[in-house]
Amino acid sequence: MQTPNGIITKNVTGIFKDKTVSSEQVTQSIMGQPVHIEKEEDNWMWVETWDTYHGWVMSRNVGRTIPKPDLIATVTTLFTDVLCEADADGEIFTKLVLTASVEALNGGKVDGAGLVAVRLPDGTEGWVNAGDIKLNAAGEDPWPFDSNRDAFPRTGRRLRGVPYFWGGTSPFGIDCSGFVQLIHKVHGINLLRDADQQAQDSRAIPVERADIQAGDMVFFAGGEDKSRITHVGMACDALTFVHSAGQGQGVIINNLSDKPFDTNYWGARRMPNDPAQRDIVEG
């Protein structure tokens, strides 16, 4: 993406095709993620997100001042509560989701209640459970490259039961490509947003069906000639895959031989086991 000049200040915010929430939600951004603001109209901003996607976001959900904290708290659980006071049973201000990042205060010190003081990008201060975050210094990547591809489907299974949501990228609701993108992100690989983009990624290595392994992306196609990629999942092994399925199913596990996946199968791709190729290659 271009040089960031904004930051997402809402826990999860929609990115839309047009300047109205009734238009198609094309993706979502998570608190702490950078954006590049290209223009602003009618209380909306046209932005580029960290994964090079573009769309309209409500201006109130983007901060123009990017904090420069010394210590960052990144959420590692599906959800964590931000509490209004240093009381584990206290009032909840908001919820943060997996990969959200905020400023850690007081050197990340854990108090007697097991809480860490944090500051959100809009300046609001609160407390989060120390067990739900990891601390990293500014400039240090919270998601280092992970060469253990067996861990990828394990992360996918953590999301089982999360509802399918078009354009969704979080445990509140997620679509198929957002699901695969999120899994890769927490294991140190940045993917493009849509399934067809992921399949055509110049870094991705084609894999024969007989050679599918845990952590491979499996793609499915629609249309009469089966050329249009419409779905993606994460292989658990050579026979099964975990994915975010539509029609009210959400994140589930299926067999590659299940219908309609057996006939709609398009191919598999494996991201290289090379930390030098972890980042998105912009065309």
CB 214 within 8 A of CB 148: no
Whether 184 sits among the annotated catalytic residues: the reply is: no
Find residue 115's DSSP bridge partners. Answer: 129
Backbone angles phi and psi of 257, in degrees to 5:
-90, -5
* Tokens describing residue 128: 């989060």
The runs of H, that is alpha helices, within the chain are: 151-158, 176-186, 195-200, 261-264
Strands, E, within 32-156: which ranges?
A: 34-41, 44-49, 54-58, 62-63, 71-75, 79-83, 92-97, 101-104, 115-119, 125-129, 133-137
* Tokens describing residue 263: 């006939």
Give 121's DSSP letter: T
d(CA 64, CA 40): 12
Residue in 36, 176, 187, 236 annotated catalytic? 176
Q: Residue 178 burial (CB < 10 Å; 0-12/13-18/19+)?
A: buried
Residue in 36, 184, 231, 236 annotated catalytic? 231
Whether 176 sits among the annotated catalytic residues: the reply is: yes
Catalytic residues: 176, 231, 243
